[in-house]
Every structure is written in structure tokens, then in C-alpha cells.
Structure 1
């Protein structure tokens, strides 16, 4: 049974999942990891979803205001043993619902071209590829997505 919890970045389960995520990204991002890592600090994240399977934390995701109409999806992760069960899609849908409740109209995000599972997840959930934004504009290994919710 999968349950979802709304919390914030101070949650210890979230911090533990993010530690696993960062270890994974350090491998897949290689020499670009330090560049990406600087944009993923937890102190600015107030809206976090944690997925639990049998009361064990198995996935997370967060949203952070990007502008007055847009939330940026951050820190999406599912543990390796929990992948392939639709948990990431459930987290994503919960983040989209929360975005609407907070009166935002769309979600954007950046992921790496090397994160093939993540790219597939966003395409499967009707996210459209957009021009790389902000700090990712010149990053060849970044791919950015957008989904209009309203």
C-alpha cells in the first residue's frame, strides 16, 4: 500500500531520500554534478511529498515557486527497489494538485538527458519539452519540461 505525506524539507525521511538521490546524481551527472547541485539546496523548499510503502519512505518530490504562476518541480526520486510501481507518477500528480491549490497555473522542471527514466516519466505524464530556462539555458545535458495545469 502506497501512502503520500505532505511535509516540508525539514522532514528527516525527505533528507534521507535526497541523500540517496544526490549519490545517484553524482554518478550520472559526472563532472557536471557540482553545477547542478548548487540549484538543489533544501532550505528554499516548503512543499514536499513523500511516498511510503508499508510505512517505509520510498520516494519524494517537491515544488518551489519559480514565478507568480509557475511552480518548479524539484528533488524527484524513487528508491531503486520501489521503481516500476507507478510511485513517481503518484508523487508527480500530488505535486500538480498542490500547485493548483496554491493558485499556480503550471509546473516546469529540469532533468538530465542521462536520466532516461526521469525523461520517460515526464513524457508519460504529459509534460512537454521546452527551451532550457534560467541557469540550464546553456547546459547541453539538461532537458526542461512544462505542464500547464489550468
Structure 2
């Protein structure tokens, strides 16, 4: 299935629908206090760039964002692929776009927080396949059994 990936505003109905699906997926996986969600309004801030994957009909089927915290640190946020199209490497393409933008902006490291457990196994595989390594908490995320943290150093060039 061919998809296109582009930077778009999150303030669109079909992106809001993806966020709703993502939030519904996450809801049963961990307590609310350990779910660090961004709203579409927060994703529209100037420090965040949202990539949207669209299928050949133009339907939004995935998303992922880069939030820049400093001149050195970027964070992957709101990664999601619609369950109906999983397994088609859309998540990999979105993550590649995020990593590419982080490199263009000369960030030194890209980090992310994600959930744990069976419901997050596919996400963990995606991140490790893409060169991310597990690490401890960063920024103000609490250390808990509900969170897994990953990082990708960007100053060494693209992974082999």
C-alpha cells in the first residue's frame, strides 16, 4: 500500500480521529497518570512538527511528531499507525521522517517515552530496529513500571 508522509497541521478532523484512536488504544494499558499524551492543540505549538501518513485515497492512516526541547534534545511523540494498516512499515516510515528532521535540525539526541507490556511490544520492536536503545527516564518523566524510555544519538550519523 503506497503512502505519502508529509508535515501537516494536527488541527484537522482526520488527525483528531487518529489521536482519538491512539488514546483509546492506550487507555487500558496503564494508569492515566502514566500516560503522557499531547493534545492536537499542544502538537500545533511551534516546538512540535507533526508528520501524517496518508494512503492512496488521502485518508490519514498514521502519525508521529518531533517535539524539540532544546538545541540538542528532540523527543518522539504521538506515534501511531491505524490498526487496519499495521504491518505495512508505515510506522518505520514515520519514524524515519522524524529522525531525518531531527538530523536536519542538528539535534544531538532523540528520546522517547512509551508504555510497557504486551500492548506496546510492536512499538518497542520498531524503536530498537530503528537504532534506539533503552535508557532511564529523562526530562520530568517519572521512573515507573508503566514507562519504557529509549534514545538515539544523532551525532554519529545514520545507522548502518
| Same fold, TM-score > 0.5, yes or no | yes
Q: Give the TM-score of the pair, scaled to structure 1.
A: 0.89
Matches within 5 A, 1:52-131: 52-54=54-56, 55-114=58-117, 115-131=120-136
What's the C-alpha RMSD, in Å, of the aligned pairs?
1.6
Equivalent pair of 1:131/1:137 in contact (CA under 8 Å):
no
What is the alpha-carbon distance in structure 1 between the residues aligned to residue 9 and residue 33 of structure 2? 24
Query: Runs in 1 of length 4+ with deviation above 6 angstroms?
Result: none
1:68–1:44 Cα change, 3 Å: farther
What is the alpha-carbon distance in structure 2 between the residues aligned to residue 64 and residue 9 of structure 1? 13
Cross-structure match for 1:42: 40
Q: Give the TM-score of the pair, scaled to structure 2.
A: 0.84
Equivalent pair of 1:2/1:52 in contact (CA under 8 Å):
yes
CA-CA distance at 1:53 after TM superposition: 1.4
What is the alpha-carbon distance in structure 1 between the residues aligned to residue 17 and residue 108 of structure 2? 30
Q: Which runs of 5+ in 2 are unaligned?
A: 156-160
Higher percent of residues as helix:
1
